[in-house]
Structure 1
Amino acid sequence: MNAPSPSATSARRSGVRGIDSRLLGIYLNDHLAGATAGTLRAGHLARTSRGSALGRAVGPVAMEIAQDRAALLGIMRDLGVPVRRYKVCAGWAGERLGRLKGNGRLVRRSPLTTVLELEALRLGVEGKAAGWQTLRRLSAVDQRLDPARLDTLLERARRQQSTLEEWRIREAETVLGAMENRTGGA
């Protein structure tokens, strides 16, 4: 197997030493697909829990998740990374299909639905934070990336993780504790 020629390798690079623009485009579009699914899932959870303590906690997080998706699109624009619509559609479709899971109920939400949605959001925000960290490290070699902006996004993701984890634990204890009481502890 032959190694790619230096000219082929440099053709893939963004002009910034060490960053492969083709791979960066794939990476950012994958994050955009996840951000699309996360934005939809967070908005759905905020709507279904509106008026409750959970809704008051998750509503602002859902708005921030939507803002973070917009920030990702802005970063992609700044880097000249084209949006791959098929990946956005895959994120949208995956989130919608996730709502069709069997939960033992035909029309109502299962008590576990909120727990699982909080877990999915928590994992999504963790992935988003990893993406911001990667871009933050790349900002050392690519002047198009604003380190202060990325620090702000990373700190916001950490706050979101904390809020989601707090509510995930509360909901899991409430639901699973209630289930234990219904089954007589068995």
Structure 2
Amino acid sequence: MGDKALTIYLNDHLAGATAGVELSRRIAREHRASACATETQGLADEIAQDRRSLRAVMDSLDVKPRRYKVYGGWVAEKAARFKPNGRLHRRAGLSDLVEFETLRLGIQGKHEMWQALVPVVAETGRGDAPALDRLIDRARSQMAAVDALHDAAARATLSGHTLRGHRD
């Protein structure tokens, strides 16, 4: 069961990483003219590198990627773009909040995956344990960066708005 579970687990994370790369690139594009352009582009670059690192770990553990899961992750990210945001023809500030929250959840999941792989790499002797430690640290740094971006977006979107007269 261990090999089968590992294959399913890593392929599920590969699907999530595919969605994460697409989402982070979208965020970077949306913010390319803003004060946080350098930070969002840096995050997108790191997240793409993390996906490549996941593929390398999978190769070292002889786990074959399942294309249907990769495509599923890509499609899921595209489908998530079609959510109501209170506006018809342009982005709403709420889009930033939801996208940063989604990205944060993905990074947290990636962080947990890297941690889960530490004993697997140690037990099998395959893979690069110091690289996993660096990936764990980078995921922590990414979560902190996304938290700061989210906080700024929340202040810009939600602060100073009164809800008087509005009912849900």
TM-score tier, shorter chain, comes to: over 0.9
Task: Report which stretch shifted further, 160-169 or 48-57.
Answer: 48-57
Any stretches of 5+ residues in structure 2 without a counterpart? none
Contact kept in structure 2, 1:135 and 1:145, CA below 8 Å: no
Query: Does 2:125 align with 1:148?
Result: no
Equivalent of 1:42, from 24, 28, 39?
A: 24
SS in 2 for 1:122: helix
SS in 2 for 1:30: helix
Task: Report which stretch shifted further, 74-83 or 136-145.
Answer: 136-145
Give the letter for the 2:144 counterpart.
S
Give the letter for the 1:39 counterpart.
V
Question: Which residues of 2 match residues 45-64 of structure 1 at below 5 A?
Answer: 45-64=27-46
Task: Measure the CA separation in 2 of the matches of 1:118 and 1:29.
Answer: 23
Identity within the alignment, %: 43
SS in 2 for 1:53: coil
Any stretches of 5+ residues in structure 1 without a counterpart? 1-11, 13-19
Contact kept in structure 2, 1:136 and 1:145, CA below 8 Å: no
- TM-score for the superposition, normalised by structure 1: 0.85
Give the letter for the 2:69 counterpart.
K
Shift of residue 170, structure 1, vs aligned partner: 1.2
Query: Does 2:90 align with 1:125?
Result: no
Shift of residue 93, structure 1, vs aligned partner: 0.7
Shift of residue 150, structure 1, vs aligned partner: 0.2
Shift of residue 184, structure 1, vs aligned partner: 5.9
Equivalent of 1:104, from 75, 86, 89?
A: 86
Find the counterpart in structure 1 of residue 140 from structure 2: 158
Q: Computing the radius of gyration over CA atoms, which structure comes out larger, 1 or 2? A: 1
Number of equivalences: 166
C-alpha distance 58-185 of structure 1, shift in aligned 2 (>3 A): farther
Give the letter for the 1:167 counterpart.
L
- TM-score for the superposition, normalised by structure 2: 0.94
Shift of residue 106, structure 1, vs aligned partner: 1.9
Equivalent of 1:70, from 29, 52, 56?
A: 52
Find the counterpart in structure 1 of residue 13 from structure 2: 31
Find the counterpart in structure 2 of residue 114 from structure 1: 96
Task: Measure the CA separation in 2 of the matches of 1:120 and 1:76.
Answer: 24
Task: Measure the CA separation in 2 of the matches of 1:185 and 1:141.
Answer: 61
Moved over 3 A (4+): 183-186
Find the counterpart in structure 2 of residue 5 from structure 1: none
Shift of residue 178, structure 1, vs aligned partner: 4.3
Find the counterpart in structure 1 of residue 4 from structure 2: 22
Query: Does 2:151 align with 1:169?
Result: yes
Task: Measure the CA separation in 1 of the matches of 2:15 and 2:22.
Answer: 11
C-alpha distance 185-170 of structure 1, shift in aligned 2 (>3 A): farther
Find the counterpart in structure 2 of residue 6 from structure 1: none
